[in-house]
Amino acid sequence: MGEGENLMGKIHSHEITPEHIYFSRRKFIAGMGALVAGTILSSACRPQKITPEGTGFCAGAAASASTDELGAKLTPCNDVINYNNFYEFSFDKEDVGDAAKNFKTSPWTVTVGGMVNKPRTFDIDELVRRFSPEERIYRMRCVEAWSMVIPWLGFPLGKLLKEVEPQSRAKYVRFETLYNPEQMPGQKIDLLAWPYVEGLRLDEAMYNLTILSTGLYGKPLPAQNGAPVRLVLPWKYGFKNIKSIVKIDLVEEMPVSTWAVAQPQEYGFYANVNPEVDHPRWSQASERRIGELARAKTLMLNGYGNEVAQLYTGMDLTKFY
Ligand SMILES: Nc1nc2c(c(=O)[nH]1)N[C@H]1C(S)=C(S)[C@@H](COP(=O)(O)O)O[C@H]1N2
Ligand SMILES: [Mo]
């Protein structure tokens, strides 16, 4: 199978390059070492894994509807768990699942602190028990111009934040992924500033569409999708949805996210989906829905404008990208 095509149809070369890191491909190859680089080269020639829907994790995959509220079809479970961005494990989206299969997600705690009255470390099992994750069918639009529609299980991040009582000086929320290079081999390559960091404005974090997800398709999250707990906000580009979170801090200054360090002109803090603002290297006007042949038009704020546009009143979203 040649570079640039797979069973999901023709895709652009920027979508099969480890596109986020196109800017430093040389550094990437150098850093990976012959062994890992070999894996990537061979993967371009290998048929895509085909696991029939309904086996493994996807056996008994459950969702309450077959489309989202705007009528977009759910991405098949099998695609949701076999096409992932999670650079801690692999730069090849189709290899992340394999590379993460032994990731240890229990025991797991999330430490919530910074400018709060009641800092606390929560056990993930307690979080799930207390906040009873519910289904939210959200579309997720990757900055690389592909997208998925996923039935997440999660609870509003705001519920957790209220519990620790943010102080009035706190303006932003900073999130951190686990740092464990033994388990996450990508962290041995200093291509990104590990651990992965993301941030939100406090009002975005408190907004009811913003969830911490602990599952999808009716089951606990698979490792490759960010087990045991990851952020999901449907109106922002996918990279804001930080995975495998261990630390949440309320802070005064805008957090510097991992991608902003790597490539500030491409990855703004807000990262609101905007079909009218091209990525410096490609158009953002349309997207390839994984599992479908036709491309879809990308909607302003990913289709969630009615709900979230008010968070950005008076802001020029082409400037605050
Ligand atoms: N820790 C961490 N979180 C991450 C990433 C990553 O590489 N590391 N990739 C991001 C990107 S670019 C996307 S598009 C989504 C992909 O989520 P999915 O694999 O569950 O579809 O996760 C985001 N969260
Ligand atoms: Mo992404």
The three-state secondary structure class of 159 is helix
Q: Tell me which residue has its CA closest to atom 15 in ligand 1.
A: 238
- Say if residues 142 and 241 touch (Cβ distance below 8 Å): no
Q: Tell me which residue has its CA closest to atom 6 in ligand 1.
A: 86
Instruction: Provide the 10 A C-beta neighbour count for residue 136.
Output: 18
Token pair 């099992």: residue: 125
Q: At the fourth CATH level, which superfamily is domain 13-309?
A: Oxidoreductase, molybdopterin-binding domain (3.90.420.10)
Cα of 16 from ligand 2 centre, angstroms: 13
Low-confidence spans in the chain with pLDDT less than 50: 1-50
What's the rounded Cα separation, in Å, for the pair 135 and 172? 26
pLDDT for 22: 43
What's the rounded Cα separation, in Å, for the pair 53 and 60? 10
**Ligand 1 in reach of 238 Cβ (< 6 A):** yes
pLDDT for 319: 82
Q: Tell me which residue has its CA closest to atom 11 in ligand 1.
A: 239
Ligand 1 atom nearest to 84, measured from its CA:
19
DSSP annotation string for 45-101: TSPPP---TTSGGGTT---S-SB-TTSPBPPPHHHHTTS--BTTTBSSTTTHHHHTT
Q: Tell me which residue has its CA closest to atom 16 in ligand 1.
A: 85
What's the rounded Cα separation, in Å, for the pair 217 and 153? 8
- Say if residues 238 and 259 touch (Cβ distance below 8 Å): no
pLDDT for 53: 65
**Ligand 1 in reach of 100 Cβ (< 6 A):** no
241, 248, 279: which to mutate for ligand 1, most atoms within 8 A of CB? Answer: 241
Q: Largest alpha-carbon pair distance within the chain?
A: 57
pLDDT for 279: 92
Q: For the chain, what are the domain ranges?
A: 13-309
Contacts (Cβ under 8 Å, ≥6 apart) of 106: 124, 125, 228
Residue type, 60: G
Cα of 117 from ligand 1 centre, angstroms: 31
The tens digit of pLDDT for each residue in 206-256 reads 999 999 999 999 999 999 999 999 999 999 999 999 999 999 999 999 999
The tens digit of pLDDT for each residue in 132-162 reads 999 999 999 999 999 999 999 999 999 999 9
